Structure 1
C-alpha cells in the first residue's frame, strides 16, 4: 500500500522587528496568505512565535524604562530662579562695616574763570569745575558738593563740614583769593585729621603745585617744564613701598605697564625736580616721593607724592582725563589708561569712606552739584568737554 504524501513544509519564518507590538486576539497574522484554517502544527508554531514575540517586547520595554530612570537619577534637578528660595536658605550677606561711611561726599574747589577762556561766561566773579573731576568722584561711588572759592567764608566753612574729603583741581591761578582759599582749606584738612577725623585730600596738577608752595613756604620752589599735552609713563622710586598708597590695589600687570607705556597724561608748565624736592626739608618732611615722570625734553619732575602723616596724595598728572576728556589728541584712552582712572577714583573714595562725618541728609541734598547744570563746551575742540560754571 503506497505511503501518504508528506505534509507540506511550514512557511519560512520572517525576521521579527525589534520593537514590533504584540498581535491582539482576532487579528490576522501578516504572514498568513491562505484563507484555509491552519493545521495543528502551524497553529502551534504561530502560538509559540507570538509568545516569544510578546516576551521580547516586554523585556525591551523594561530595559528602556530602567535606562530612563537611571538617566533621570544622574541628571541634576533643573532649578529656575523662582525655585531657588525653596531649595536654599536666604543668602547670608556680610553686615556693613560700621566704621565706614557708605555715602561719602567729596568737596571740589572751583577755579577762577569759565574754563573756556571767557567764551562761555565773561563775568568777573565766574568760577568753574570741569565735569571730568566730578565724574572721577562719581564713578567710584561718591557725590560732589562744589566749594565755590569766592563765596562768603562762612558758607565755605559750612560746606567743608558737609563733606568727607576735598579735591583740588588743575588750573593756572597761583595767587590772590584763590591761593588764600586753597591754603585755608589745606589747614582745615590738617586740623580735622589731627583731631581724629579721617579727612583725605587729593591734589591734581595745580593742586600739587600750590601745596608745594604752601608747605615749602617758598614762592620760587617751582621750576618750568615742557609738559603741556604730554602722555608719559610713571617711574617708581627705587625700593618704594606702595602699601597704604594710591597704587596699593593696582593690578601687578597695570603697575608694570605704568612704567613702560604712556598711560598717564601730563598737562603742566611748572613742577618740581626730584633734586630740588629733596633739598627742601619742609617738603621732604611732609611728603614722600612715589613716582617721577619726564617731560617732552626728558627733564624729570616729581609726579606722585604721599603725605607721611596725613591722608593726602598729590599728582603732577591728570587721572581724570583718560576716561572723561577728549579735547586733547594726546590723552591716552586705552583700556589700561581708563583702568588707571578707575583705580585712582576707587582709592580716593575708599579713603573718604573712612571719614565719620555724617551731616544731615537735607543739608547735603541742598548743596550737591546736582543742583547745577553743566555746560557743554567740547565743540571748540580744545580744553574741557564739559564744565560747571558758578557766578
Structure 2
C-alpha cells in the first residue's frame, strides 16, 4: 500500500520537476546575452566602401516660371523667363534617398551652370511645360555632357520625369514632333509591365513581389501630362528603341496606351512619364495616391536614384559645395487653394 502511494505521489512530482527544468533550460538557451559596450572586445565600425560615395549630391534643373499656380498676384511671373523654380517635392525625393541638392538654374550663364554640374553626382529633369527655347537647349546641353561623363567612365545618373521624359525623347529621337496627345492630366493609374520586361538593375528590382503585383493592378502612381509617346511610335524610332528599353506602359482616361517608364540600355538614365515624387510630398489633387503602397513607390524611387548617384566617384570638397546647396534658398508655400505644387523654391 505504501509503495503504491509512493509511486502515485512521487512519479508525478518527478515528472513535474523534469518538465520545469526543461522549460528553464530552454528559456536559458533562448535568452539573449546583452553585453555592455565596455564588454565588447572589437568595437571597430566597418570601413565605408571606397567605391561608393556616401555623400552624394543631386543637381536639379530649375524650370521657367514660379510653379505656384494658385497665386493670382504672381500670375504675370508664372511664364516670366527671368524667373525659375523647383517644386520642393523633387528636392524632398532626393533627400529621402540620402542626398543633398544643388539647384542648376537654367537661365544663369552657361559657365556658372556647368561649374555647378561638376559638383553633383546625378541630375533630375523635372516636370513642367517648357518644350522649346532656352530651356530645351539647356536640357540638351546638360544631357550631352552627362553622356560624355559616362562615356569617359564616370557613373553619372539621370532621372527625367514627365516633361523630362518628353524632352529626352525629343532629343534622342532628333524629332521635335514625336510627342502625341494623351488625356492624362491629374490621373492616377497603374503601370503595366511589358512582356518579358527585364527589371534587373532598375528601380523595380527593389520592389517586393507583392508591390510589383499591386502597381500593375492598383492606381499607385500619378500621371499629369497632355503629351506622351505610344509604344508603336517609340518602337518605330530607331534612335529611341536602340537607346532605351521600355519597362512599363499606362493607359490614359480614354484608354489610349503610352510608354510610361524607360531605362537606357547603356547609361544610368531612367525616365518616367509619371511622377514618383508626388505620392509622399504633394497634396494638391485628390488623384494623388497616398496609400502605404504608394508611399513605398516614392521611397523606392528615392533610394534607387541616390544608390545610382553613390556610384559616382566625383567628390568635390566640402567648401566648394556649401554655398551652392538648396539650403541657401527659402521655400514658398502655395498650397492654400489645393492646386499646383504645395511648395516651391523660386529663383529670380
Asked if Structure 1 and Structure 2 have the same fold, meaning a TM-score greater than 0.5 normalized by the shorter chain, the answer is yes
Count of residue pairs brought into register by the alignment = 322
Task: Point out the more displaced range, 150-159 or 120-129.
Answer: 120-129
Match of 2:52 among 90, 93, 100: 100
For residues 48-97 of structure 1, the C-alpha deviation after alignment (integer angstroms, 9 at most, x for no partner) is: xxxxxxxxxxxxxxxxxxxxxx99x967599997x513443334543211
The answer to whether the aligner puts 1:316 opposite 2:273 as a matched pair is yes
* 1:375/1:386 contact within 8 Å kept: yes
Cα RMSD (Å): 2.1
Q: What residue in structure 2 maps to residue 295 of structure 1?
A: 252
Q: Which has the higher contact order (CA 8 A, sep 6+)?
A: 2
User: Partners in 2 of 1:207 and 1:112 — Cα distance?
Assistant: 13
Q: What residue in structure 1 maps to residue 119 of structure 2?
A: 162
For residues 198-242 of structure 1, the C-alpha deviation after alignment (integer angstroms, 9 at most, x for no partner) is: 000000000000000011111110000000010000000101111
User: Partners in 2 of 1:89 and 1:234 — Cα distance?
Assistant: 51
User: Partners in 2 of 1:140 and 1:199 — Cα distance?
Assistant: 16
User: Partners in 1 of 2:48 and 2:124 — Cα distance?
Assistant: 26
The answer to whether the aligner puts 1:84 opposite 2:41 as a matched pair is no
Match of 1:228 among 156, 180, 185: 185
User: Partners in 2 of 1:376 and 1:104 — Cα distance?
Assistant: 27
Q: What residue in structure 2 maps to residue 378 of structure 1?
A: 335
| Runs of 5+ consecutive residues of structure 1 not aligned to the other structure | 1-69
Q: What residue in structure 1 maps to residue 103 of structure 2?
A: 146
Larger Rg: 1
SS of 1:258 mapped into structure 2: helix
SS of 1:211 mapped into structure 2: helix
1:13-92 paired onto structure 2 within 5 Å: 84-91=36-43
SS of 1:247 mapped into structure 2: helix
Q: What residue in structure 1 maps to residue 323 of structure 2?
A: 366
Q: What residue in structure 2 maps to residue 306 of structure 1?
A: 263
User: Partners in 1 of 2:38 and 2:87 — Cα distance?
Assistant: 51
User: Partners in 2 of 1:208 and 1:172 — Cα distance?
Assistant: 12
* 1:248–1:79 CA distance, 2 compared to 1 (3 A): closer
Q: What residue in structure 1 maps to residue 90 of structure 2?
A: 133
Q: Would you identify which runs of 4 or more consecutive aligned residues in structure 1 move more than 6 Å?
A: 77-81
SS of 2:234 mapped into structure 1: helix
Q: What residue in structure 1 maps to residue 215 of structure 2?
A: 258
* 1:86–1:367 CA distance, 2 compared to 1 (3 A): closer
Q: Per-residue deviation at 1:345?
A: 0.6
Q: What residue in structure 1 maps to residue 285 of structure 2?
A: 328
Q: What residue in structure 2 maps to residue 48 of structure 1?
A: none
User: Partners in 1 of 2:33 and 2:72 — Cα distance?
Assistant: 58
For residues 152-185 of structure 1, the C-alpha deviation after alignment (integer angstroms, 9 at most, x for no partner) is: 1111010000000000000000001000000000
* 1:114/1:120 contact within 8 Å kept: no
User: Partners in 2 of 1:351 and 1:179 — Cα distance?
Assistant: 25
Q: What residue in structure 2 maps to residue 352 of structure 1?
A: 309
Higher normalized helix content (fraction of residues): 2
For residues 14-60 of structure 1, the C-alpha deviation after alignment (integer angstroms, 9 at most, x for no partner) is: xxxxxxxxxxxxxxxxxxxxxxxxxxxxxxxxxxxxxxxxxxxxxxx
TM-score (norm 2): 0.88
User: Partners in 1 of 2:39 and 2:326 — Cα distance?
Assistant: 46
Q: What residue in structure 2 maps to residue 39 of structure 1?
A: none
Q: What residue in structure 1 maps to residue 4 of structure 2?
A: none
